[in-house]
DNA sequence: ACGTTTGTTAACTAAATGGTTAAACTAATT
DNA sequence: AATTAGTTTAACCATTTAGTTAACAAACGT
């Protein structure tokens, strides 16, 4: 019994520090990127000694990879679930748009972080993340069938897929630029993003539906 | 006369080194970003001594700002010209799509560079670039009139503007991610980007045109 | 209770990096 | 030929930063 309790205490201490580090690292890496992030700043954010980062994660690179994989693992399975759900193409587009915009509003740094670091290190996606990539075959078939059955105009699955993701994610990645171009403040921009939950769906469906 | 020639020679030497530095800095900053770029690497790329970077540009920050402003100044006026041209809304969309995709294929690091650094430093766009921002008022009026006249379905100018930019630029920013998702290689991806010169126009016009 | 393992810290180290300097070089001027 | 001004370089400096270490603390097994 004592054994169990002490084991539990240790485990708790251990994993609490370890996950504190991971959370702090997530904050700093997402805000600043791998290159600009400082190990000391992560330690400060976690409220612990810098040596602990190395004790639990060995190096900055490995800590970064742990953060990155976790970030990727929160985004990719969601995408996978949506596009492989057992519903219609139109419902998938509605779900994707609504769920993803809602999710990203809560985690605004995430998409930019992932895209940024993948650009600096494109091999990473094959070497480390290939098992986490969503499977789009079902979605592709669904699009091809919809074209064949005359429900939507002819369009390559690849392009429709790219378009859906672009319309949903780009505004969050490019928000400083778009705010500048459109001359709108933070609040107005947020309202625009809320509107997009329906606007993007309309835009896509209007484009592909045969009326 | 001799005076003129020597002045010219001096000027040429001066400005050639200065622009060599700027070009080298552009390469490195665009590939690696401000934080990961190294002054020594820029000097090596330019084939000169590192002290020259400081001789001509004082500091890394100022060199970076010179590069960034130049990059921004190649993208923004193009956008401005297209959306303020004296032609129809549909032609603008066609021109924008075709010209921008062509341009970005030649400068693949540019959009990502700009968006990335603006995310790390959002004040920059107001403090340093406000005079270089394109004016979208004419474009906005054109959209509003097209809605009023029943040429296109009702859509906020902001959303249409965001959608056009998103569909055109996002695939280049997110290319490593999209290559991974779609499981296509570099060559196939390039072909897809070529196709988008017409595909994106079709997608947008199909969405907004009233048939 | 007592040695052992695990977790934590402050101080330290080595390397990298932005920036400086003083001397050398170039080319025009007188 | 001597002077001057701008340009370029090698060597140097100060600081930052990832990573280590050695000593200390806490929790564990027996």
Tens-digit pLDDT profile for chain B (211 aa)? Answer: 333 334 444 444 566 899 999 999 999 999 999 999 999 999 999 999 999 999 999 999 999 999 999 999 998 998 999 999 999 999 999 999 999 889 998 999 999 999 999 999 999 998 999 999 999 999 999 999 999 999 999 999 999 999 999 999 999 999 999 999 999 999 999 999 999 999 999 999 999 999 7
Q: Kindly determine whether residue A166 and residue B161, on different chains, have CB atoms separated by under 8 Å.
A: no
Rounded Cα distance, A92 and A83, in Å: 6
- Cβ of A61 less than 7 A from strand D: yes
Q: What is the pLDDT of residue B15?
A: 67
Least confident span in A179-183, A204-208, B73-77, B115-119: B73-77
* Closest by Cβ to A166, choosing from B33, B114, B170: B170
Residue nearest to nucleotide D10 (CA to C1'): B49
Asked if the model's pLDDT at residue A87 lies above 80, the reply is: yes
Question: What pLDDT, on a 0 to 100 scale, did the predictor assign at position B100?
Answer: 87
3-state SS track over chain B: CHHHHHHHHHHHHHHHHHHHHHHHHHHHHHHHHHHHCCHHHHHHHHCCCHHHHHHHHCCHHHHHHHHHHHHHHHHHHHHHHHHCCCCCHHHHHHHHHHHHHHHHHHCCCHHHHHHHHHHHCCHHHHHCCHHHCCCCHHHHHHHHHHHHCCCECCCCHHHHHHHHHHHHHHHHHCHHHHHHHHCCCHHHHHHHHHHHHHHHHHHHHHHHECC
Q: How would residue A12 be classed by pLDDT, with cut points 50, 70 and 90?
A: low
Determine the protein residue whose CA lies at the shortest distance from the C1' of C26. B10
b/e map A35-62, b = 16+ CB within 10 Å: eebebebbbebbebeeebbeebbeebee
Residues 112-151 of B with CB under 7 A from strand D: none
For residue A50, pLDDT beyond 90: yes
Q: Is the CB of A182 under 7 A from strand D?
A: no
- List strand residue ranges (DSSP E) for chain A, in order: none
Rounded to whole angstroms, the distance from the CA of residue A8 to the C1' of nucleotide C21 is 61
Beta-carbon contacts of A131 under 8 Å, excluding residues fewer than 6 positions away, are none
Residue A211's pLDDT is 77
Binary contact (A163, B162; C-beta < 8 A): no
- Over residues A14-36, the pLDDT tens digits come to 669 999 999 999 999 999 999 99
Q: Domains of chain A, with CATH numbers?
A: 1-58 (1.10.10.60), 65-208 (1.10.357.10)
The ipTM assigned to this model is 0.91
Residues 6 or more apart whose CB falls under 8 angstroms from that of A144 comprise A157
Give residue-wise pLDDT tens across range A123-171. Answer: 999 899 999 999 999 999 999 999 999 999 999 999 999 999 999 999 9
DSSP for A69-116 reads HHHHHHHHHHHHHHHTSSS-HHHHHHHHHHHHHHHHHHSTTHHHHHHH
Measured between alpha carbons, how far is B85 from A200 in angstroms, rounded to an integer? 27
Q: Is the pLDDT of residue A3 over 50?
A: no
Strand nucleotide closest to residue B39 (CA to C1'): C18
Closest CA to B44 of B54, B56, B35, B53: B53
Average pLDDT, chain A: 92
Cα separation values, B162 from A9, A154, A171, A193, B171, Å: 52, 24, 7, 11, 14
Could you tell me if B163 and A192 are in contact, meaning their C-beta atoms sit under 8 angstroms apart?
A: no
Which tokens is A31 given? 């805000």
Give pLDDT, residue A1.
36
Residue nearest to nucleotide C10 (CA to C1'): A49
For the CA atoms of chain A, what is the radius of gyration?
A: 21
Confirm whether any atom of chain C, the nucleic acid strand, is less than 7 Å from CB of A15: no
């Amino acid at each position: 019994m004592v054994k169990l309790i002490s084991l539990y205490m240790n485990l708790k201490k251990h994993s609490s520090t370890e996950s504190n580090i991971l959370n702090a690292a997530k904050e700093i890496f997402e805000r600043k990127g791998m290159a600009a992030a400082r190990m000391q700043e992560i330690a400060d954010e976690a409220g612990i000694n810098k040596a602990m980062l190395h004790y639990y994660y060995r190096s900055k690179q490995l800590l970064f990879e742990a953060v990155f994989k976790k970030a990727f693992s929160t985004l990719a399975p969601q995408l996978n679930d949506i596009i492989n759900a057992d519903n219609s193409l139109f419902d998938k587009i509605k779900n994707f748009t609504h769920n993803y915009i809602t999710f990203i509003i809560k985690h605004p740094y995430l998409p930019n972080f992932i895209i940024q670091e993948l650009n600096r290190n494109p091999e990473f996606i094959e070497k480390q993340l290939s098992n986490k990539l969503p499977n789009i075959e079902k979605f592709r078939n669904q699009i091809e069938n919809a074209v064949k059955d005359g429900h939507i105009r002819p369009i390559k699955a690849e392009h429709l897929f790219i378009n859906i993701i672009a319309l949903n994610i780009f505004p969050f990645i490019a928000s400083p630029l778009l705010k500048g171009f459109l001359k709108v403040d933070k609040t107005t921009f947020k309202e625009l993003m809320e509107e997009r939950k329906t606007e993007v769906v309309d835009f896509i469906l209007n484009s592909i539906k045969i009326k």
